[in-house]
Amino acid sequence: MVADEPPERQLRVMPWWLVLVGLLVAAALGWLVLGLLLTEADRASQADTRATLRIDAIRTGLTVVAGTGGGLALLLAARRQWIAERAQRHQERVAARDQAHRDRVQAHAEAVAEAAQRQQDRQAGAAEHDAAERRLTELYTRAVELLGNDSAAVRLGGLHALERLGQDNPGQRPTIAAVLCAYLRMPAPDGETRETEVRRTAQRVLTGHLRADDAAHWPELTLDLTGATLVDFDASGCTLVDANFTAAAFTGTTTFAGATARGRLLLGAASFGDVTFEGLAADGEVMLDGARVGGLASFDGTAFAGGLSCQRVSFAGPTSFRRATFGQPTSFDATRFADTTTFQESVFDGALSMEHTEFGASADFHSVRFRHMVAFRWTVFGAEALFDGARFTDAANFGRAWFHSMASFRDAQFSQQPYVDQARAVVDLGHRWPAGTVVQRFDDEWLLLVDR
């Protein structure tokens, strides 16, 4: 409907008697004028003058009648023109309303067609999604079935199928990683000589996609390898998010070199052969409590921003923490270092506790920076204890420590006198104690250190 269209007044038909009345009025008016003029003409004194006046009177009367009739005719013509114009405007309004109605009908039809098309698209998308999900489920189920096959070769095929599935479907990667972790957590089949290669492949599938520089990087994966058996596990350069290796058995050579640990890195009660953490950057706590290292252990250049808990750990081989940094309180309580151990040039920004710790061979703390309190109480140094050039910014406690060989604090700097009460050291081995240390003879073999 056309906007703001004024309402139309009802058109009335002119009655026929109105025209008759108009003619009668015209005739009456002419008759009245004629009568008046003839009356005046009859008053003339001369006959020829009366005749002339009567003729003029008749002519005037007829003129009045004709003029009145012409006026009526003009009025009727004007009415007819007005009616024609009104009819034209009516036709235009009707045409506009018809066009608006057609437009509304067309718009409604288009809206219905568009809604129907959207519904069809949604149905088609849903059908396509369902088909893709069914296909994905079938592929996943088939790959898992292959992984559970008795044949090692078939299991290898299942691993590669799962990897391909995860590569093509990012949403399935966490599930696939969880399946691979579960496989590694399961005991190895008895009598299967090729199982080691299968496990190596599963490890490579996991770690290969955790390297940020890898073109097939799978970000934000969480590994749960609690109690898993891992062979030559290589996580170098990987990004580990809340990784859990609690009680895992690492055989062969294990490396976390250059890895990035986000969140907690749990290695408690794990067992290692040779292991390297060189260049590891950990923003959360690294937990090694109760771990056992049977070979070489290297932590050179590691950054433990979230702290390190290394209590009751057994290091059977050479152990190195050169240039490592410890951002939070660190504990080596009740840990045993059977072979040579070095912390050269390391930095402890948080407190350090090595209470009841045992060093079976030389312990090298040369040029270490202790920026918070340090506790070596009841620590046993089975060979040389070298603190040359070390700096102690806060309190240092060596109370009841045992030095079975030479202890050297040459050029060591202390912000306050270290606490050494009841510490013991073997006799006559060229010890270099901190300035102000009071040493007493305990017996033929031992010296006793006391505080002033």
Are residue 251 and residue 372 in the same domain, yes or no? yes
- Which 3 state secondary structure label does DSSP give 405? coil
* 140 within a domain of the structure (yes/no): no
* 138 within a domain of the structure (yes/no): no
CA distances in angstroms from 244 to 179, 187, 240, 260, 269, listed in the order given: 15, 18, 9, 14, 11
Q: Is the CB of residue 162 less than 8 Å from the CB of residue 148?
A: no
77: pLDDT confidence band, cut at 50, 70 and 90? confident
Top mean pLDDT of 12-16, 80-84, 226-230 is at: 226-230
Q: Is the CB of residue 205 less than 8 Å from the CB of residue 176?
A: no
Here the tokens at position 349 are 């920004």
Predicted confidence at residue 1, as pLDDT, reads: 45
Instruction: Give CA–CA dist 27/408, Å, rounded.
Output: 152
Backbone angles phi, psi at 189, to 5 degrees: -60, 140
Strands, E assignment, 278-320: 281-282, 286-287, 292-293, 297-298, 303-304, 308-309, 314-315, 319-320
Strands, E assignment, 300-340: 303-304, 308-309, 314-315, 319-320, 325-326, 330-331, 336-337
Are residue 243 and residue 382 in the same domain, yes or no? yes
Are residue 293 and residue 415 in the same domain, yes or no? yes
Here the tokens at position 165 are 């599935």
Are residue 238 and residue 109 in the same domain, yes or no? no
Instruction: Give CA–CA dist 89/190, Å, rounded.
Output: 100
Predicted confidence at residue 70, as pLDDT, reads: 75
pLDDT greater than 50 at residue 226? yes
Q: How many residues does the chain have?
A: 452
Backbone angles phi, psi at 344, to 5 degrees: -50, 130
Instruction: Give CA–CA dist 402/378, Å, rounded.
Output: 7
Instruction: Give CA–CA dist 360/404, Å, rounded.
Output: 10
pLDDT greater than 90 at residue 27? no
Mean of the per-residue pLDDT values of the chain: 86
Higher pLDDT among residues 177 and 130, named by residue: 177
List Cβ<8 Å contacts ≥24 apart for 93-102. Answer: 93/2, 93/5, 93/8, 96/2, 97/1, 97/2, 100/1, 100/2
Q: What is the pLDDT of residues 371-418, one digit of tens each?
A: 999 999 999 999 999 999 999 999 999 999 999 999 999 999 999 999
Instruction: Give CA–CA dist 370/172, Å, rounded.
Output: 47
Instruction: Give CA–CA dist 243/245, Å, rounded.
Output: 7
Q: Indicate the number of domains in the chain.
A: 2
pLDDT greater than 60 at residue 355? yes
84: pLDDT confidence band, cut at 50, 70 and 90? confident
pLDDT greater than 70 at residue 163? yes
* 382 within a domain of the structure (yes/no): yes
* 210 within a domain of the structure (yes/no): no
Predicted confidence at residue 79, as pLDDT, reads: 76
385-386 vs 407-408, strand pairing mode:
parallel
Predicted confidence at residue 12, as pLDDT, reads: 64
**Least confident stretch, 91-100, 139-148, 381-390:** 139-148
Are residue 243 and residue 390 in the same domain, yes or no? yes
Of 80, 113, 146, the residue that ends a domain is 113
229-231 vs 260-262, strand pairing mode:
unpaired
Which residues, other chains included, contact 159 with Cβ-Cβ below 8 Å and sequence gap of 6+? 147, 180, 198, 201, 202, 205
Predicted confidence at residue 391, as pLDDT, reads: 97
Predicted confidence at residue 195, as pLDDT, reads: 85
Q: What is the pLDDT of residues 260-291, one digit of tens each?
A: 999 999 999 999 999 999 999 999 999 999 99
Are residue 230 and residue 376 in the same domain, yes or no? yes
* 351 within a domain of the structure (yes/no): yes
Backbone angles phi, psi at 77, to 5 degrees: -65, -40
Are residue 229 and residue 365 in the same domain, yes or no? yes
Domain encompassing residue 349: 219-450
* 149 within a domain of the structure (yes/no): no
* 196 within a domain of the structure (yes/no): no
Of 67, 90, 113, the residue that ends a domain is 113
Are residue 227 and residue 91 in the same domain, yes or no? no
Q: By percentage, how much of the chain surpasses pLDDT 90? A: 52
Are residue 436 and residue 287 in the same domain, yes or no? yes
Query: How many alpha carbons fall within 13 Å on the CB side of residue 302?
Result: 29
* Beta bridge partner(s), residue 253: 274
pLDDT greater than 80 at residue 190? no
* 161 within a domain of the structure (yes/no): no
Top mean pLDDT of 78-87, 150-159, 254-263 is at: 254-263
pLDDT greater than 70 at residue 45? no
Are residue 242 and residue 390 in the same domain, yes or no? yes
Q: What is the pLDDT of residues 308-340, one digit of tens each?
A: 999 999 999 999 999 999 999 999 999 999 999
Terminal CA-CA length for the chain: 108
Of 78, 113, 148, the residue that ends a domain is 113
Here the tokens at position 266 are 């749990």
Residue in the structure block whose two tokens are 């700096």: 391
Side chain identity at residue 410, one-letter code: R
Decide: residue 232, CB within 10 A, 0-12 exposed, 13-18 middle, 19+ buried: middle
Instruction: Give CA–CA dist 248/226, Å, rounded.
Output: 6
Are residue 270 and residue 402 in the same domain, yes or no? yes
pLDDT greater than 50 at residue 230? yes
Here the tokens at position 306 are 């979230």
**Least confident stretch, 124-128, 230-234, 286-290:** 124-128
Distance of CA 147 to the CA centre of its chain: 32
Q: Is the CB of residue 382 less than 8 Å from the CB of residue 361?
A: yes
pLDDT greater than 70 at residue 73? yes
Q: By percentage, how much of the chain surpasses pLDDT 70? A: 86
